[in-house]
Amino acid sequence: MLISPTALYALALLAIPLGAIVLISFWTQTGVRDFDTTLTGANYVEALSDPIYRALMFRSLRIAGLVTLVTVLAAFPIAYFVSFGVPAQKKSLWIFLITIPFWTSYLIRVFLWKVILGYNGVFNSGLKVLGVIDQPLTFLLYNANSVVITLAHAYAPFAILPIFVALEKIDRSLLEAARDLGENRVMTFLRVTLPLAAPGVIAAVLIVFIPTIGDYVTPELIGGPGGTMIANMIQAQFLRLNNAPLGAALAVLAMLIVSVIAVAFLVLGSRASGAKGTRK
Amino acid sequence: MTQISTANRVKPTKPLIEMRDISKHYGDYHALCGITLDIHEGEFFSLLGPSGCGKTTLLRVIAGFEGIDSGAVLISHQDMARVPANKRPTNMVFQSYAIFPHLSVAQNVGFGLRKSTMSKAQKEAAVAEALEMVGLKGYGARAAHALSGGQRQRVALARALILKPKVLLLDEPLSALDRKMREQMQVELIRLQRQVGITFILVTHDQEEALVMSDRIAVMFEGEIAQCDDPEILYRRPKSKRVADFIGVMNFLPATLHSHAGTIIADVAGLGEAEIAADQCPAGIPEGDALVGFRPETLTLLYDGQTATQREAAGVISEVVYYGDMTYYDVTLVGVSKPVRISMRNVFGRDVLAVGDATRVSWSAGALVVFP
């Protein structure tokens, strides 16, 4: 039997670790490195019943949802501008410019946001100099807001690119046809551009939502107590609290929730992009 | 070629679209140079020309997709300068058909009815009626992407006609279809235009298509109208060598002109002398060297025993191209180096002549056109 190297590679790096996590989630930890390997569902019962884990899961969903919303809403006009407002020969330059933030390490970008949003940061000092505020604003850093701002900035290019590609694929004569049939610019956008850009928007939503819900670095560095997310709790269970099976159970649950949401969006996406009429 | 005669139709003469000295540049490129043209109500009008001659630009100017640098477009005596595309009484069938891929056939056809005051049932009836008119009855529920090229075009037609525009603009609508389909659609478009009575403006680079379908044709070169006439005049009396060359096949022979007792006489190489009437040459054509043109079917090869009804010339057959119903002969006339093309309908019992045969040619002065 021939198994391709790719399949072996995927098996070793994806399937085995995933299987291990699922397996561990049914164990019980008895010491620093000792496990009771009797299969038990106790970890899942605890993960689902303890209000702390539930609260963290909901907060993660809320933050990831908010990040996705902010990112996609901000990305759409940029993608639209590059696709419709920039001359054809300058489009690649614009896309290139959009990716420039990636040249800096993600960690450094997170720290830079700390500098910008901090108590004596660029933003607060700036507003003080201008006389807009007397006291520094404190709702910016070490809470959910800072996590949303930082993640939205970090993931913006990932959202811009699929939307841009979807907009580029729209035959421009379709927009002229809509105008010709009596619609103004706004209605043309709503009836033609937006439905045809839907696959790109769905892709952007998934690309932003899936990684952000499990993001660990940003909440750790600038989230503060109010910005802690489920990934931070999973890390704490594995390393600090010596309860790998509970951490694994939380990880599996988070994965399941993300999968359900992702599949829902995919179904929504294929329905939006496919024609509504029945094929014969 | 399927030909529906347009000769017995009452020629409409009330101007619906008036174009006054329209000019448009793209940088240094003159897309349209001083176009002045009236298109009448109920007319099937064609803009004919090679690619890049400005015909599509002119159509897009009428539709409101392109602005103009100077001049004016009037539809029903109303200046269109400040009227955007969505407010104009025109609808367009795009070259790509521009069928909305995310909508069904019925949703495509009913796209422009959103603001209509009709009830939902009336709209559905209108869509069904429009689909029936273009021969797509019962296709409403189909997905737009499941249609063939010909069907997409019919959907585009139904979608434009459902709004009952004053003018229907067709941008090379048949160029993407195969030959058989194209000929069928030509006939259907003529039928449809008669049925709805709307002014059709067709853009095409296919001279045969323009001749078959149009009441009048404007031939365009380099952003200017070279000639605007009905198909028969355009074919028989082209005003310039370029128009003559673009439409159909035209033979050219050198000639010298001189005036005799008020009439112009052309001494045509290989043929002989011919009297030229006023409509056969541009007014005020100078005497001396000129060029004479005639169509292949205006000359006839004479078989043994036949005599010319008008005039006769001698030559040798240098090429024979057999088409089944027709045969094209290249005949080298005495005293002319370049052969002229003559087309003959093949008649049962008459042999096709061979290369090298000496032949006599019958011709008449009235078929000639003179160019300076």
Asked whether the beta carbons of residue A177 and residue B92 sit closer than 8 angstroms, the reply is yes
Other Cβ atoms closer than 10 A to A222: 23
Asked whether the beta carbons of residue B103 and residue A184 sit closer than 8 angstroms, the reply is no
The answer as to whether B235 is a domain residue is yes
Owning domain of residue B81: 15-244
Picking from B244, B273, B289, the residue at the C-terminal end of a domain is B244
Residue A164 confidence (pLDDT) = 96
Residue A36 confidence (pLDDT) = 85
Q: Would the pLDDT of A280 be above 50?
A: no
Q: Are residues B210 and B120 in the same domain?
A: yes
Lookup: tokens for A208: 């932003």
Query: Could you read off the pLDDT of B36-88 as tens digits, one per residue?
Result: 999 999 999 999 999 989 999 999 999 999 999 999 999 999 999 999 999 99
**A274 confidence band (pLDDT: 50, 70, 90):** low
Picking from B209, B244, B279, the residue at the C-terminal end of a domain is B244
Q: Would the pLDDT of A276 be above 50?
A: no
Q: For residue B96, which residues of chain A lie inside 8 Å, CB to CB? A: 171, 173
Q: Are residues B268 and B183 in the same domain?
A: no
Residue B203 confidence (pLDDT) = 96
Q: Would the pLDDT of A12 be above 90?
A: no
Asked whether the beta carbons of residue B86 and residue A191 sit closer than 8 angstroms, the reply is no
Asked if B242 is an interface residue toward chain A (Cβ–Cβ < 8 A), one would say no
Asked whether the beta carbons of residue B96 and residue A173 sit closer than 8 angstroms, the reply is yes
The answer as to whether B10 is a domain residue is no
Picking from B244, B277, B301, the residue at the C-terminal end of a domain is B244
Nearest CA in chain B to A184: B86
As a whole number, mean pLDDT of residues A35-47 equals 88
Query: Could you read off the pLDDT of A176-197 as tens digits, one per residue?
Result: 999 999 999 999 999 999 999 9
Rounded to whole angstroms, the Cα distance separating B152 from A199 reads 24
Q: Are residues B179 and B309 in the same domain?
A: no
CATH number of the domain encompassing residue B256? 2.40.50.140
Q: For residue A172, which residues of chain B lie inside 8 Å, CB to CB? A: none
**A275 confidence band (pLDDT: 50, 70, 90):** very low
Residue A279 confidence (pLDDT) = 36
Residue B8 confidence (pLDDT) = 47
Q: For residue A196, which residues of chain B lie inside 8 Å, CB to CB? A: 101-102
Q: Which of A169, A176, A181, A191 to mutate to test the interface with B (most CBs of B within 10 A)?
A: A181
CATH number of the domain encompassing residue B106? 3.40.50.300
Percent of chain A with pLDDT over 70: 96
Rounded to whole angstroms, the Cα distance separating A246 from B251 reads 94
Q: Are residues B83 and B97 in the same domain?
A: yes
Indicate the angle between helix axes A230-239 and A244-273, nearest 10 degrees.
Answer: 150
Residue B78 confidence (pLDDT) = 92
Asked if B257 is an interface residue toward chain A (Cβ–Cβ < 8 A), one would say no
Q: Are residues B300 and B234 in the same domain?
A: no
**In chain B, which among 97-126 make CB contacts under 8 A with chain A?**
98, 100-107, 111-112, 114-115
Residue B179 confidence (pLDDT) = 87
CB-nearest to A174 from B98, B107, B115 is B98
C-alpha distance from B214 to closest chain A C-alpha (Å): 24
As a whole number, mean pLDDT of residues A25-35 equals 85
Query: Could you read off the pLDDT of A193-241 as tens digits, one per residue?
Result: 999 999 999 999 999 999 998 888 888 888 888 888 889 999 999 888 8
Q: Would the pLDDT of A143 be above 60?
A: yes
Nearest CA in chain A to B85: A180
C-alpha distance from A187 to closest chain B C-alpha (Å): 10
Rounded to whole angstroms, the Cα distance separating B74 from B80 reads 6
The answer as to whether B4 is a domain residue is no
Q: Are residues B201 and B169 in the same domain?
A: yes
Rounded to whole angstroms, the Cα distance separating B273 from B296 reads 19
Q: For residue A272, which residues of chain B lie inside 8 Å, CB to CB? A: 102
Asked whether the beta carbons of residue A181 and residue B86 sit closer than 8 angstroms, the reply is yes
CATH number corresponding to A53-272 = 1.10.3720.10
C-alpha distance from A171 to closest chain B C-alpha (Å): 8
Give this complex's ipTM: 0.83
The answer as to whether B3 is a domain residue is no
Q: Which of B61, B86, B95, B117 to mutate to test the interface with A (most CBs of A within 10 A)?
A: B86
Q: Would the pLDDT of A13 be above 70?
A: yes
Q: How many domains does chain B have?
A: 2
Task: List the end-to-end C-alpha distance of chain A, in Å, as a whole number.
Answer: 41
Q: Would the pLDDT of A28 be above 50?
A: yes
The parts of chain B modelled with pLDDT lower than 70 are 1-12
Residue A277 confidence (pLDDT) = 37
**A273 confidence band (pLDDT: 50, 70, 90):** low
Report in angstroms the alpha-carbon separations of B64 from A58, A63, A249, B72: 53, 47, 63, 12
Classify each residue of B338-349 as buried b or exposed e, where b means 16 or more C-beta atoms within 10 Å of its C-beta: ebbbbbbeeeee
Q: For residue A180, which residues of chain B lie inside 8 Å, CB to CB? A: 63, 65, 85-86, 90-92, 160
Query: Could you read off the pLDDT of A97-126 as tens digits, one per residue?
Result: 998 888 888 888 888 888 888 888 888 888
Residue A278 confidence (pLDDT) = 36
Report in angstroms the alpha-carbon separations of B46 from B134, B169, B170, B171, B231: 21, 10, 9, 10, 10
The answer as to whether B332 is a domain residue is yes
